[in-house]
Structure 1
Amino acid sequence: MNKTPRIRIPPEVRQYVFQRDKSQCQSCGKTAEETNLTIDHIIPLAQGGQNDISNLHTLCLTCNQAKSDKTDQRFRRRFQS
């Protein structure tokens, strides 16, 4: 499997993802008022995930660091037919 090159996520895409996810961590549910939020790839680039907006979601820093470059099976359902 080839690793997808990392690109800088444009500010307008970051803003869209935060709004779409209601400024809430998609793993633990914490909000922007409770913690620092980040944008994360659902399917990691190291596993062939794409830089497409549908492969991005909001995670808090703690959940993002715990996930690392692993795939969280709770989010794979978005990509199943």
Structure 2
Amino acid sequence: MTKTPRIRIPPQVRKYVFERDRYQCQSCGKTTLETNLTIDHIIPLARGGSNDISNLHTLCLTCNQRKTDNLDPRFRRYFV
């Protein structure tokens, strides 16, 4: 398996993901008023994940650091 190269997430994409996720951590539920939010890959790039918008979600800094490059099936998204 080859690692997907990391690219900078454009501001428009970051805004879309934050709005889609209602500015709320998708793991613990904290909002932007309570903590610093980040954009994270659901399937990590190191595990073959893509830079596609459907593979991105909002996590707080604490949950993002705890997740590292592990897979968490709770965060699989399927878009039609």
> In 1, distance between residues paired with 2:73 and 2:53?
18
> In 1, distance between residues paired with 2:75 and 2:26?
9
- The alignment of Structure 1 onto Structure 2 pairs a total of residues equal to 78
Partner of 2:35: 35
Q: Which AA in structure 2 matches 1:7?
A: I
Verify: 1:25 aligned to 2:30, yes or no. Answer: no
Aligned residues: percent identity? 79
- Secondary structure (helix, strand or coil) at the match of 2:14 reads helix
Give the superposition deviation at 1:25.
Answer: 0.1
Give the superposition deviation at 1:72.
Answer: 1.1
- Secondary structure (helix, strand or coil) at the match of 2:27 reads coil
**TM norm structure 1:** 0.93
> In 2, distance between residues paired with 1:43 and 1:20?
18
Q: Which AA in structure 1 matches 2:75?
A: F
**What are structure 2's unaligned runs of at least 5 residues?**
none
Q: Which runs of 4+ in 1 moved over 4 A?
A: none
RMSD: 0.7
Alignment of 1:66-77 (within 5 A): 66-76=66-76
Give the superposition deviation at 1:75.
Answer: 1.2
**What are structure 1's unaligned runs of at least 5 residues?**
none
Partner of 1:49: 49
Task: Point out the structure with the larger helix share.
Answer: 1
- Secondary structure (helix, strand or coil) at the match of 2:59 reads strand
